Structure 1
Amino acid sequence: MILLLCSVFLITLILGFPVAFCLGITSLAALIVSDVPLVLMTQRLFTGIDSFPLMAVPFFVLAGELMNRGGTTRRLIDFANVLVGRIPGGLAHTNILASMFFGGISGSAVADAAAMGTILVPGMIRKGFSPGFSAAVTAASSTMGPIIPPSILMVLMGVTTGLSIGGLFAAGIIPGTLIGVSMMGLSYFMAIRYSFPKETMALSPLILWKEFVSAGPALLAPFIILGGILGGVFTPTEAAAIAVLYAFILGRFIYRELTVRDMGDVFIQSGITTAVLLIIIGMANIFAWVLTSEQIPTRIAQAMLALTSNPYAILMMINVFLIFIGMFLEGGAAIIILAPTLLQVTNAVGIDPLHFGLIMVLNLSVGLLTPPLGVCLFVVCGVTRIDFSVIVRAVIPFLLLEIGVLLVATYFPWLILFVPKFLGYV
């Protein structure tokens, strides 16, 4: 059965099928061979997406789209540019800081990559940055979206494993900030080495205050969302709905850039993105059922524990495995299929569940930059028309940097668990 599953999945992937259909066709082949009624596919498909916490996914997607159309994203970028634009490599730092702001509202790497790729990459190229570096820093910084809370992948992790979604959000604050600061350090070094430009605008308290007032309502959004979740005022799903309402109020009544005519396109684009995510989640649920029925996860867990019971060695094996998986499998699908099994292994060797959950999300965020699947690479490539191979070469330093932060987070668990402990989740 393992041979059948691997063969069918790899063949469909090589033939260019979307990942959701690779999972569905592979599951269908397994059910036919096992002589299981095919009605099970529809049952598991709908069971996989019939979840109240999963409603946070379309809400966060819609909130991101409303911010893009309503002028919120542009004001976040302008404020970030005022703060860090005068540093060597100015627009690169602006790109990273704006992604940190944006990730604190939308929770989606794809939305971040599309927004920053559309707005910032052309401006960076006009200022004298190389096309490859401009696209690479955009793709790399967008991966903070699933790490800096709120996060769609963390919602899926909580739904799949039963871990506290609020606890996962709290665990992502320090690693997400560390990645952003590290990327800015790397961009500074590369700006000095390759003489990248910086912004020459005059900076005065008046200009800083003007941009802060303009972006202030948008900057409140992460505090409202996270403060409500971590303070126990509302659930992550309710927080996502509040994010939509807040983004709509900003775009329609405060910034007045969101028109009634825009709303149709906003709902269509959000619906398309949500449909893609949910069909992947549904197909992954079918695939996970096939694996479980064949006891494959249990055998994998037993094999890993037979090799070693050292928690550090287990974490290294998991990191290597997940980075490889991230090259071929979308993050949400990987969580649904693998998280319960790997959580069983880490619990057996005494690794804190929140630590493992954050490590898995970090790994799968790295997978957003690794070909051949590299979703953020393809998104930036699509919106900028820069050759894919150029982006891949330029993104390697940022990819190595993220792997470095992953290792720090892996072997210094107190760094991950400090905020969750402070807030009472551990």
Structure 2
Amino acid sequence: MTTASSSFKIANRSVGEWISSLPTLIILLITIFVASGEIIHSQLLRVGEATWEEYFLLRGAGVVGEPTCDRNPDIDEQVRRTVIQREADMADDPLADMFGTDIDEDAIRRSIERSVQVCNERWQRFERIEERVTPGVKAFRTVEVGVSRMITTIGESRRTLLTLLVLICAATATMSRHHIAIRPVRTVRDHYVSTIALLSANTLLFVSAVQYRERQLMSIAEGISVSHYGLNLIWITGFGVLAAINIYHLVKPPKDLEQGGNYGKALLTIPLYGFMSLSAGSRFMLDGYYHGMSVYLGMMMEHSTMFLNLALYIWIGMMLKQTRMAQLVFNVLRPWKMSPELLCFVVLLVTAVPTAYTGASGIFVIAAGAVIYSELMRAGARPQMALATTAMSGSMGVVLRPCLLVVIIAALNNQVTTAELFGSGIKIFFLTAFLFFIYSQFARKEPARIAPFREALPESIRRLRPLIPYVVLMAAVIMFFNHVLDRRLDEFSAPIILPVVLLSILIYEYVFSKKSADQLGLELEDTAGGDPRPTGFEPALRRATNETTGHIGALLMLMALSVSVGGIIERTGLMEAMPTDFASVWVAAALLMLVLVGIGMIMDPYGAVILVNATIAQVAFAAGIDPLHFWMMTLVAFELGYLTPPVALNHLLTRQVVGDDEVEKAKLTTGSFWDRYEKFLLPIAVMLTALITVTFLPLWFDGLHEWLFQKVGRG
């Protein structure tokens, strides 16, 4: 996906790249700088303290003024003045006789002497520090303090950075028609229905932002302090730009549209965030809460670090897509000549780890879905099964370390920790993988096969050789952060370390790897879809950022409006209507399971987690469901929701990367019901079985509950 299609170029870059991709790249790099800058600053302080004793005091030399107290006062004179002042105060106090009129001069003298002693200590410390401030200390302090101030200044602007990122990328996705919808726009009627609906949705957002500003002005007039006042002007401008783009599309529709169409299918071309904006905005207006969507956008800004990290994960995924790593891994698997079903199983196992490291299921589908689908088709997989596996490739690893979604759950709750969640998650991962293996084998159309070890193993090992430099390079970057910056790769540092890893790989790949692969006689193909690969680091980075911009706009707008949908659910009291007293924990688990799947079908994972934490979680805990058990249920239920129509977000993202024409060709009109709808039925069967198992079996067997949801001791 390109950010703009324009023949006019400046410095060999399109106008779209200058006004969308470049600002996006700058914001992402600033986000990395702020987070890594905090790590660097802490290391600078550690180096300073190790090099100069009392560096924390030395860094203030020349900045903190000298003490203002008198180190050699006339103590007798001060005692005399204090006594006179006390006598004057008692003379003016009508109640002084009640408390006594004696003045203890010795106590006054001791107090003054202690003050003089403290003053002398201040002077001595000041002089000692000034004497020890060498040119080296001054130079180091200048760097350290400069880094600190820069990080603090930029770090305080995270909300502004996120707002700009969302709106710039949303404008790009709108201009390129890249928002997520159930059906693509094909006909003239599709175009007008979709565009008019989006214009209405963006107009509601614009009106909400304007109303919110009016509320802010009223609060200021009443003397009430308003935080982040200027941020709302950015939202107003951004939503106005989105509406203007919609008007432009109405005036100038695409030339390749088919004639005709019907309104039923046309409604399905409306982007999901448009449906959310129309439903939330209209509901808020009926309640007289005209600025409601802007209020909930403000709540999204409360988690600005989380959403900026999510944008980084999308960028990581798009850079991964530009590398040859996925195809090199498939090169290793190819000599085994596995049957399609067995290869699908192996692919899901292999893709679970990058899914966890790219933050969420949809991001990995966008990053590697095209390669996965094409390789499975090449191995002889049925189109429906290849689509099912591609959609599921982003679902298996969401319970593994260091998935951002799990980190958010732990951050919102003090009942569970990341260690506990990931500990249970890996067990559920293997359960889900086993279930996929069983279902896929029952659905196979030919006998299972695999090449003999004596034939496949030597060739597979030979094909591992091109991957060795990648492993070494990744290990080098991780070790640098670990040993030099004292920051190991975990769920908290992954959004910062992984972009550096991918940037290093891009530099390596376009300098060395193709030559090395040619020498080894290995096959390296272009990406699926026939897109030519960039021929250098800068083109690869630019292409990755171009794709990142559109995907950030599509996903973050969907997430932003999901928060508003969550607001509707809260305000209508739908969750409060749920019973709080259940006949048994089994009834509670069954009802909660259905509700969680429903939420997963209509909301993005991050907005859904925030909603569930604020509403359903407490109901589950009160019903006797263990917090760790509940959140594992939630994660599996969400993934089932993302794979289940009518929305099926992972399938929509699969269609985006595989191509509408390819998905249409995969449809069958003959065969059994399973054959015709396997791309939906196989993932649903796997995840539904996993959900039922995770929900009910631990309630039945205490030993299983204890093993599956083990608690980690806390100090």
Q: TM-score range by the shorter chain?
A: 0.7 to 0.9
SS where residue 66 of structure 1 aligns? helix
Equivalent residue, structure 2, for 1:394: 678
**Structure 1 residues 244-393: aligned runs within 5 Å:** 244-253=499-508, 256=511, 259-297=537-575, 299-300=576-577, 303-306=578-581, 308-382=582-656, 383-384=658-659, 385-387=662-664, 389-390=667-668, 393=677
Query: CA deviation digits over 1:18-44, x for unaligned, max 9?
Result: 232322222222322222352x43242
1:108 to 344, 351, 360: 360
Q: Which has the higher contact order (CA 8 A, sep 6+)?
A: 1
**TM-score (ref. length: structure 2):** 0.50
Contact residue 339 and residue 448 of structure 2 kept, 8 A? no
Q: Deviations over 1:144-175 (max 9, x none)?
A: 14233333433454455565445433432221
Give the superposition deviation at 1:81: 4.8
Counterpart of 1:272 in 2: which secondary structure? helix
Structure 2 partner of 1:176: 429
Distance 2:470 2:399 in 1: 19
Q: How does 1:12-411 map to 2 (within 5 A)?
A: 16-38=269-291, 40-51=292-303, 52-81=305-334, 85-86=337-338, 89-158=341-410, 164-165=417-418, 167-191=420-444, 193-195=445-447, 198=450, 203=455, 206-215=458-467, 233=488, 236-253=491-508, 256=511, 259-297=537-575, 299-300=576-577, 303-306=578-581, 308-382=582-656, 383-384=658-659, 385-387=662-664, 389-390=667-668, 393-395=677-679, 396-411=681-696
Q: Distance in 1 between matches of 2:706 and 2:501?
A: 30
Shift, 1:45, TM fit: 0.7
Report the alpha carbon displacement of residue 87 of structure 1 after superposing the two structures with TM. Answer: 6.1
Please tell me whether the aligned partners of residues 489 and 497 of structure 2 are also in contact (alpha carbons under 8 angstroms). Answer: no
User: 1:123 Cα deviation (Å)?
Assistant: 3.4
Q: Which moved more, 1:315-324 or 1:145-154?
A: 145-154
How many angstroms apart in 2 are the aligned matches of 1:154 and 1:365? 13
**Distance 1:285-1:129 versus aligned 2 partners, 3 A rule:** closer
Contact 1:168 1:354 (C-alpha < 8 Å) held by counterparts = yes
Q: Secondary structure at the match of 2:402?
A: coil
- Contact preservation (8 Å) 2:566, 2:607: no
Secondary structure of the corresponding residue to residue 142 of structure 1: coil
**CA spacing shift, 1:138–1:295, aligned 2, 3 Å:** closer
Please say if residues 70 and 250 of structure 1, whose CA atoms lie closer than 8 Å, have aligned partners that are also in contact.
Answer: yes
CA distance in 2, matches of 1:64, 1:417: 36
Kindly indicate whether the alpha-carbon contact (under 8 Å) linking 1:322 and 1:363 is maintained by their aligned counterparts in 2: yes
1:269–1:423 CA distance, 2 compared to 1 (3 A): farther
Moved more, 163-172 or 311-320: 163-172
Q: Which amino acid aligns with 1:153?
A: L
Cα distance change of structure 1 residues 378 and 422 upon mapping to structure 2, 3 Å threshold: same
Aligned-residue Cα RMSD (Å) equals 3.8
1:8 is aligned to: none
What is the one-letter code of the residue matched to 1:404? T
C-alpha displacement of 1:263: 0.7
Deviations 1:194-252 (A, max 9, x none): 34665679646544444445445767979x79xx9xx9957634222112212222332
Task: Give yes or no for contact 2:597–2:637 (8 Å, CA) kept in 1.
Answer: yes
Q: Percent identity?
A: 16
Q: Where does structure 1 lack aligned partners over 5 or more consecutive residues?
A: 1-10
In structure 2, do the counterparts of structure 1 residues 343 and 80 end up closer, same or farther at CA, with 3 Å as the change threshold?
farther
Is the contact made by 1:369 and 1:375 (CA closer than 8 Å) also made in structure 2? yes
> Matches of 1:417 and 1:103 in 2, distance apart?
28
In 2, distance between residues paired with 1:215 and 1:253?
A: 12
TM-score, length-normalised on structure 1? 0.80
Q: Give SS of 1:304's match.
A: coil
Matches of 1:375 and 1:416 in 2, distance apart? 31
Q: Compared with structure 1, are the counterparts of its residues 34 and 149 closer, same or farther at alpha carbon in structure 2 (3 Å cutoff)?
A: same
CA change 1:94–1:294 in 2 (3 A) is closer
Distance 2:295 2:469 in 1: 44
Deviation (angstroms), 1:99: 1.8
- Distance in 1 (CA, whole Å) between partners of 2:461 and 2:704 is 34
Q: Is contact 1:68-1:115 (8 Å) kept?
A: yes
Give 5+ residue unaligned stretches, structure 2: 1-263, 514-535, 669-674
Q: Contact conserved, 1:56 with 1:237, CA < 8 A, in 2?
A: no
Shift of 1:348: 0.6
Residue of structure 2 equivalent to 1:6: none
Measure the CA separation in 2 of the matches of 1:176 and 1:187: 16
Cα 1:171–1:245 change in 2 (3 A) is: farther
**Post-superposition shift, 1:343?**
0.4
CA offset at residue 309 of structure 1? 4.8
Matched with 2:210 is: none
Deviations 1:244-289 (A, max 9, x none): 2122223322675672111112122223222323222322223333
Q: Give deviations 1:370-403, integer Å, cap 9, x for gaps.
A: 1111122223334151237559711313321221
Task: Classify 1:367/1:137 alpha carbon distance in 2 versus 1 (closer, same or farther; 3 Å).
Answer: same
Q: Residues 49 and 281 of structure 1 are in contact (CA less than 8 Å); yes or no, is this contact kept in structure 2?
A: no
Residues 211 and 412 from structure 1, CA distance in 2 versus in 1: closer, same or farther, beyond 3 angstroms? farther
The 1:50/1:217 distance shift into structure 2, 3 A limit, reads farther
Q: Is the Cα contact below 8 Å between 2:317 and 2:366 reproduced in 1? A: no
Deviation of 1:363 after TM superposition, in Å, equals 0.7
Q: Which has the larger radius of gyration?
A: 2
Contact 1:107-1:145 within 8 A present in 2 as well: no
AA partner of residue 96 (structure 1): L
